[in-house]
Structure 1
Amino acid sequence: MSATVTTEAGSGDVLVSFRGVQKSYDGENLIVKDLNLDIRKGEFLTLLGPSGSGKTTSLMMLAGFETPTAGEILLAGRAINNVPPHKRDIGMVFQNYALFPHMTVAENLAFPLSVRGVNKSDAGERVKRALAMVQLEKFRNRYPGQLSGGQQQRVALARALVFEPQLVLMDEPLGALDKQLREHMQMEIKHIHQRLGVTVVYVTHDQGEALTMSDRVAVFHQGEIQQIAAPRELYEAPRNSFVANFIGENNRLTGQLVSHDGERCVVALPRGEKVEALAVNIGQPGEPVTLSIRPERISLNGRSEQCANRFSGRVEEFIYLGDHVRIRLEVCGKPDFFVKQPIAELDPTLTVGDVVPLGWQVEHVRALDPLQAE
């Protein structure tokens, strides 16, 4: 599909516009194919995708560290293709912090202010405010080497915000942190964003991070935006099989389209079973289709009686995850079909080898384009 995906925002709400932006490093292969994207004032937009999908290149073009091969980028209505990075009024946070090791925390924060000619007393006040925002007032005289990874990342965040830019860009800023600290920093960044109302463009390949933090997520693949939407819509209503597969866990069944009637369709699986599904992104009868069903939308045993699509599955494995269990079953000839159940709903008598009825509603199975081999 084309990457001509723009927002519905009125022009007054838009801070950044990518218009027909392309990027090639060798003159032949486009890393970014045809990017049309409006970023709204005050939103937290995440660019999500696998390595090499074009998300970081798009961010670097916005920052001014890369130049578009074609198209233009507008910031607050002004073309910035030829504006150097330090004149763009953009804060940046990188994964490696990029702090000056020979400067104290306070001096690191004062640096972007001195570059912009802010007077000393005003700068001192702003540094104080920024340190308070990330709860590091007591560390103002320490050097980066005397701080933990999480503290260094906080300093980097404060430095990006200290000169009150209209836009902050973050490139995998939490990638080097451990899981617990990472989750804590996700919330911290989200709350700072809510308090300041600054526009944030955030790059990550971590789908959980994107879903947790963002107002909207743009999913990149092979240099194009596949879908841009609020996290819930992206998860519940993926537009194609790449998005369904990349965001969250997903059972995929491949089959052939039998019939199509309005919003619904019937798909035949290889062994002849028929599935009624939502027709989201399909071709003509006889053509291949990928069915997408989330593991938490599947009902087992008695709960499956009301389901339009009903089959049986053989239990192969239990994977215990604390608050829920993932059950691997063989369903319709597929050996790795997963059902996710809260612990409270799990039948304690269920064991490996049991054959159980299971099912899902039509609205929870999406008929999508055949999954491309990577």
Structure 2
Amino acid sequence: MSEASAKSDEILVSFRGVQKSYDGENLIVKDLNLDIRKGEFLTLLGPSGSGKTTSLMMLAGFETPTAGEIQLAGRSINHVPPHKRDIGMVFQNYALFPHMTVAENLAFPLSVRGLSKTDISERVKRVLGMVQLDAFAQRYPAQLSGGQQQRVALARALVFEPQLVLMDEPLGALDKQLREHMQMEIKHLHQRLGVTVVYVTHDQGEALTMSDRVAVFHQGEIQQIAPPRALYEEPKNTFVANFIGENNRINGRLLSRDGERCIVELPRGEKVEALAINVGQVGAPVTLSIRPERVRLNGHSGECINRFSGRVAEFIYLGDHVRVRLEVCGKTDFFVKQPIAQLDPALAVGDVVPLGWPLEHARALDPLLEQ
């Protein structure tokens, strides 16, 4: 088994009670306790202002925690300057030296670390091969495309073989196709090298595609940290359910609870059986979360415990699947996602159809507070 595939439980980075405030009043990062495992690909995901980039910058050494401690490989790095942390960095704007060739850009982190000329040229050659840029060693950044420049920035972060690589929205400036290609390339590089990667993005698809674990940030706190599938299928609260993927939200109140299951009453009196994930007392408001791809239409809804009818309002065609907007239980924006092959071609706007969803795909969560 390769080093990379043997995910270690050894902790490389530890945030302990870390806080950050710029004005002494408002905490951008509230009370961060986070362990990052050696060799994992961890993504910090969240909207703008959620504290994810600030957390990354404190780890890099460009920001200082207001309180708490950050440890790297078992020692506190709160007062260690960035260049002494043995950390590689990749930014969105590449930050390459325009007056240096690709090879010189890659040699720079090695020469400041005092490596010999022979070692430097060997390492530069190896890392150029790794990012498939062997033929571009003598070019200048301005002569490269965005994707090639991003590859050079990636190579420069890896060339001195750091134990940790931090990436801040590194693919934000690339077009969709190139971005998706680079996502896979970074993921495969990570698997090959076994280096620990901490990646910041606000793009949920990117986080789900690339990561071993994802930490969802909101208002300076981690709302949930889990592998991608668990995060999508088992959100712990309404914020995570809404932020990751598409989600049908229906507000109601808790009618009864029996262990892990509960019954939720909707505003017009309909009752839904759901999993009680994050609910208060009986009578308290809850938000139901149901993924659009888990809703079954027509005959497929026959065996579902939760059955309703919906009026078809709109079809939104997306190539491989269709989103059908329906009016269900008084909501005008209830979505069902259907693969093209499964869509009934006779279905038309205005049709009233039976629909349903299994109990295990309805999650009763905390009430949605309008942001």
Tell me which interval the TM-score lies in, with the shorter structure as reference length.
Answer: over 0.9
**Structure 2: gaps (5+ residues):** 1-6
1:117 corresponds to: 114
Q: State the AA in 2 paired with 1:126.
A: R
C-alpha distance in 2, partners of 1:152/1:12?
Answer: 34
1:137-148 map, 5 Å: 137-148=134-145
Deviations 1:200-248 (A, max 9, x none): 0000000000000000000000000000000000000000000000000
Q: Distance in 1 between matches of 2:132 and 2:196?
A: 21
Letter in 1 for 2:268: R
- Is 2:356 the counterpart of 1:372? no
CA distance in 2, matches of 1:365, 1:177: 37
Question: Percent identity, aligned pairs only?
Answer: 85
Instruction: Give the letter aligned to residue 129 of structure 1.
Output: R
Q: For 1:330 and 1:154, locate their aligned partners in 2 and report how far apart those are by CA, in whole Å.
A: 47
1:265 aligns with 262
1:190 paired with 2:187, answer yes
Amino acid at match of 2:232: Y
Q: CA deviation at 1:292?
A: 0.1
Equivalent-residue separation in structure 2 for 1:112 and 1:264 (angstroms):
57
Aligned residue in 1 for 2:49: 52
* 1:335 and 2:322 matched: no
The 5-angstrom pairing of residues 1-374 of structure 1 reads 13-374=10-371
Post-superposition CA distance 1:23-77 (Å, at most 9, x none): 0000000000000000000000000000000000000000000000000000000
Change beyond 3 A, Cα 1:111–1:177 = same
Scaled by the length of structure 2, the TM-score of the pair is 0.98
Which digits, 9 at most, give the CA deviation of each residue in 1:105-126, with x for residues without a partner?
A: 0000000001111111001000
**Partner SS for 1:218:** strand
Q: What amino acid is the match of 2:74?
A: G
The change in CA–CA distance for 1:349 and 1:11 in structure 2 (over 3 A counts) is closer
Deviations along 1:10-35, whole A, 9 cap, x unmatched? 99610000000000000000000000
In structure 2, give the amino acid aligned to 1:40. R
| 1:109-159 C-alpha deviation (Å, 9 max, x unpaired) | 000001111111001000001100000000000000000000000000000
**TM-score of the pair, normalised by structure 1:** 0.97
Q: Which amino acid counterpart does residue 31 of structure 1 have in structure 2? A: I
Q: Where has structure 1 moved over 3 Å in runs of 4 or more?
A: none
Matched residue, 1:6 = none
Q: Is the 8 A contact 2:39 2:195 kept in 1?
A: yes
Q: Give distance in 2, aligned partners of 1:64 and 1:56.
A: 12
Contact 2:8-2:39 at 8 Å conserved across structures: no
Number of residue pairs the alignment of both structures matches: 365
- CA distance in 1 between partners of 2:370 and 2:355 (Å): 29
Secondary structure of the structure 2 residue equivalent to 1:306:
coil
Match for residue 3 of structure 1?
none
1:288 and 1:44 map into 2 onto residues whose CA distance is 37
Contact 2:94 2:153 in 1 (8 A): yes
Cα distance in 1 for partners of 2:8, 2:344 equals: 54
Q: CA deviation at 1:373?
A: 1.8
> Separation in 2 of the partners of 1:286 and 1:75?
47
Structure 1 pair 252–130 and aligned structure 2 pair: CA distance change class (3 A): same
Q: Distance in 2 between matches of 1:203 and 1:372?
A: 26
